[in-house]
Amino acid sequence: MKQISAFIQKELLECMRTGKCIFMLILFVIFGIMNPAFAKLTPWLIDIMSDSFSNMGLSVEKVTVDALTSWMQFCKNYPFTIIILLLMFCNTLSAEYQTGTLINVITKGMNRWKIVLSKSIVIFAFWTAGYLLIFGITYGYNAYFWDNNIVSCLAFFAVCYYLAGIWLISLMIFMSTVFNSNSSVILSVGGIFLGIYLIGMLPKIDKYLPWYLLDSSKLLINDGSISDYRFAVVITILSVIINIVAAVFCFSRKSTL
Amino acid sequence: MKYISEILPFLIPLIIAELVLFVFTIRHILTHENYKCGNRMLWIIVAIVGMGFIGPILYFTLGREDA
């Protein structure tokens, strides 16, 4: 436990000193503010564009925005958030392989599984804090401008999107233990995600895939019920555990550090 | 005028956050000698042209050295 907490401290210190921490914090705040901002600015933008639309023969009616527009914007911005987080942390192990800094720690007697576990905890903590920040800011602005009660199942929707992020991060940690370079880690995570997205196009299987969690935005407009997502939630949680166990397994057998 | 007062609650924090991010990025570029690719001038131009958040994202994902 002492070793894990020491390694977590080292990771956090590294994040602070390399500027990752502050950069991610500001970026999450910006993303959080942008969701309601886009929703609020939509009528104004359409108003400006309406002249050119009417020249093209399109008539624009008055657009009404509410909390739902803002939450839909949250769904659209979500992929950027998770992609930036993955890009920032894809070098978590590969940078250490390249500089050889892990060799000292391991020869001093640190168990390999503790390294993977503490790195995972730090990235999960970053995602949790960032997600709470984005969600909290969006929720706060929505409550101020509109009314959050018009959307249904908001809490479950939030958990689904959070879990999808956790799943992608666990996949990235697993891939970092398999491959040695940043680009292969990102490409393999992207490849697996694309593969699962394509499998998800098959109508009967899609409910069982982690990808399906991102479909939970339908719940906000009362389309479907929470029980539709029970398989996807269980499979995603299992998949996260399997990814971490596989990462520990691969890392303990890795010969090139 | 009514519109501006309506958007002020998120305009002010957004501008402050983007300015802080911009200053932080420029400071990071100026205090570091080596980058993954490109040179100092290129990253300063990228940070200024992509002001807001595109420039800083590009710098921190592609330009910032790991060590």
Contact A32, A133 (CB under 8 A): yes
Provide the 10 A C-beta neighbour count for residue A194: 10
pLDDT at residue B1, rounded to an integer: 58
DSSP classification of residue B33: -
Residues in B closer than 8 angstroms to A37, CB to CB, are 7, 10-11, 14
Question: Does the complex come out with an ipTM higher than 0.95?
Answer: no
Q: How far is CA B12 from the centre of its chain?
A: 17
Report the C-alpha gap between A225 and A218 in whole angstroms: 9
For the cut 60, the answer to whether the pLDDT of residue A17 exceeds it is: yes
pLDDT at residue A162, rounded to an integer: 93
Looking at chain A, list the stretches that DSSP marks H as alpha helix, in order from N- to C-terminal side.
2-17, 20-55, 67-89, 94-99, 101-107, 112-145, 154-178, 182-199, 230-252
Cβ–Cβ contact A100 with B under 8 A: no
Q: Give residues 11 to 70 of A whose Cβ lies within 8 Å of B.
A: 18-20, 22-23, 26-27, 29-30, 33-34, 36-37, 40-41, 44
Distance from CA of A6 to the nearest CA of B (A): 20
Across the range B20-43, mean pLDDT stands at 88
Give the confidence band of A220 by pLDDT, cuts at 50, 70, 90.
Answer: confident
pLDDT at residue B36, rounded to an integer: 83
For the cut 70, the answer to whether the pLDDT of residue A112 exceeds it is: yes
Across the range A225-248, mean pLDDT stands at 90
pLDDT at residue A203, rounded to an integer: 80
Which residue from A240, A232, A211, A228 is spatially nearest to A153, judged by alpha carbons? A228
Residue range A42-100, pLDDT digits in tens: 888 887 877 777 777 777 677 778 888 888 889 998 998 999 999 888 888 888 888 88
* DSSP string covering A20-42: HHHHHHHHHHHHHHHHHHHHHHH
Q: How far is CA B53 from the centre of its chain?
A: 5
For the cut 90, the answer to whether the pLDDT of residue A166 exceeds it is: yes
Q: Sign (positive/negative) of CA torsion A172, A178, A180, A186?
A: negative
Cβ–Cβ contact A221 with B under 8 A: no
Residues in A closer than 8 angstroms to B59, CB to CB, are none
Residue range A173-193, pLDDT digits in tens: 999 999 888 889 999 999 999
Report the C-alpha gap between A49 and A255 in whole angstroms: 60
Across the range A9-18, mean pLDDT stands at 89
Chain A residue with the nearest C-alpha to that of B9: A141
Residues in A closer than 8 angstroms to B66, CB to CB, are 18, 91, 95, 98-99
Contact A164, A200 (CB under 8 A): no
Higher pLDDT, B43 or A256: B43
- Please, what's the largest Cα pairwise distance for chain B? 50
Cβ–Cβ contact A150 with B under 8 A: no
Higher pLDDT, A162 or A208: A162
Residue range B18-31, pLDDT digits in tens: 899 999 989 988 88
Of B7, B21, B56, the CB nearest to A40: B7
Type of residue found at A94: S
Cβ–Cβ contact B60 with A under 8 A: yes
Report the C-alpha gap between B42 and A9 in whole angstroms: 34
In this complex, do B14 and A22 lie within 8 Å of one another by their Cβ atoms? no
Higher pLDDT, A56 or B48: B48
In this complex, do A27 and B13 lie within 8 Å of one another by their Cβ atoms? no
Mean pLDDT of chain A: 87
Distance from CA of A146 to the nearest CA of B (A): 12
Give the confidence band of B67 by pLDDT, cuts at 50, 70, 90.
Answer: low
Cβ–Cβ contact A141 with B under 8 A: yes
In this complex, do A27 and B3 lie within 8 Å of one another by their Cβ atoms? no
Across the range B8-18, mean pLDDT stands at 86
In this complex, do B17 and A26 lie within 8 Å of one another by their Cβ atoms? yes
B51: left (phi over 0), alpha (psi -120 to 50) or beta: beta
Q: Tally C-beta pairs within 8 A across A and B.
A: 57
